Amino acid sequence: MTDRPSWVPADVDEGLPSAARVYDFLLGGGHNFASDRMVGQKVLEVQPNGRQIAGSNRAFLRRAVRYMLEQGITQFLDLGSGIPTVGNVHEVAQKLHPDARVVYVDYDEVAVSHSELMLGANDNAVIVNADLCQPEEVLKAKAVREMIDWTQPVGLLMVAVFHFVSDERDPRGVVARYRDALPSGSLLALSHLTADQMPDEMAGVVEAMRNSRDPMFFRSFDEVSALFDGFDLVEPGVVSAPLWHPQYGVQDPTVEGVYVGVARKP
């Protein structure tokens, strides 16, 4: 029997794969278990571009944060933040604006535990253990109330999370409740996996994740666009990830499979 890593909370079932840890594996991280790597390998078998798609999504996150900073936003709420890896929100934001504040939110115990270790010495970044699909609980969390100034615009990040939210959980309604809480001038960055370009390969990804803690629900262009209802999309609108403000740096402009957009709260 192998020793349990010190960063694993005692009540975590290492045999049950989770989206946060599979994503960490696809990004080349080291905070995942054998069960996560097994699912990750299944994903790569049916979608050989899995690592490139994950990397493209991650690159969009960094570009969106830079864009928000340029618009004068210096406080961020990152929902479904996952396991911190190099180039996470606080690293990008605080490199350009040292006083930028970041609140991460996730319900994966490993993501929360590792974030707490990583952010322990950072007074302007914190992790909240909560389910993003319960906006009222997230918004009333002590760290959210203390770190976010709700009289000033907020950078709301919903990156690579809603393809884990079923229609029954009403993703449009969830986004709308956060939208209604945001001050005018706030910006939303959202990305979502799709099967529009590669239906067979992405169907295989859904099957690979079916028995994990976080099954997947891919959506079409129109369905992803509808998540921005009530916001004003900034140019170029909802597009494939590499096409969104590539001037900030894109490694591979041909990668498809992720729709992204940034929009402003009127």
Lowest mean per-residue pLDDT among 27-31, 80-84, 123-127, 203-207: 27-31
* pLDDT at res. 1: 40
Spatial CA neighbour of 236 closest among 247, 252, 227, 226: 247
Taken in order 161, 163, 169, 173, the sign of the CA dihedral is: positive
* pLDDT at res. 171: 97
Set out the domains of the chain in order of their start, with CATH numbers. 50-197+215-264 (3.40.50.150)
Q: Where are the alpha helices (DSSP H) in 210-241?
A: 221-226
Task: Tell me the pLDDT tens digit for each residue of 107-148.
Answer: 988 788 888 888 889 999 999 999 999 999 999 999 999 999
Task: Tell me the pLDDT tens digit for each residue of 195-226.
Answer: 999 898 888 888 888 877 788 899 999 999 99
Q: Which of 4-18, 79-93, 172-186 has the highest mean pLDDT?
A: 172-186
* pLDDT at res. 10: 58
Provide the mean pLDDT of the chain: 89
pTM: 0.88
User: Averaged over 45-62, what is the pLDDT?
Assistant: 87
User: Averaged over 79-90, what is the pLDDT?
Assistant: 84
Lowest mean per-residue pLDDT among 4-8, 96-100, 147-151, 191-195: 4-8
pLDDT band at 3 (very low <50, low <70, confident <90, very high): low
- Residue 129 CA neighbour count, 13 Å, CB half: 9
* pLDDT at res. 123: 95
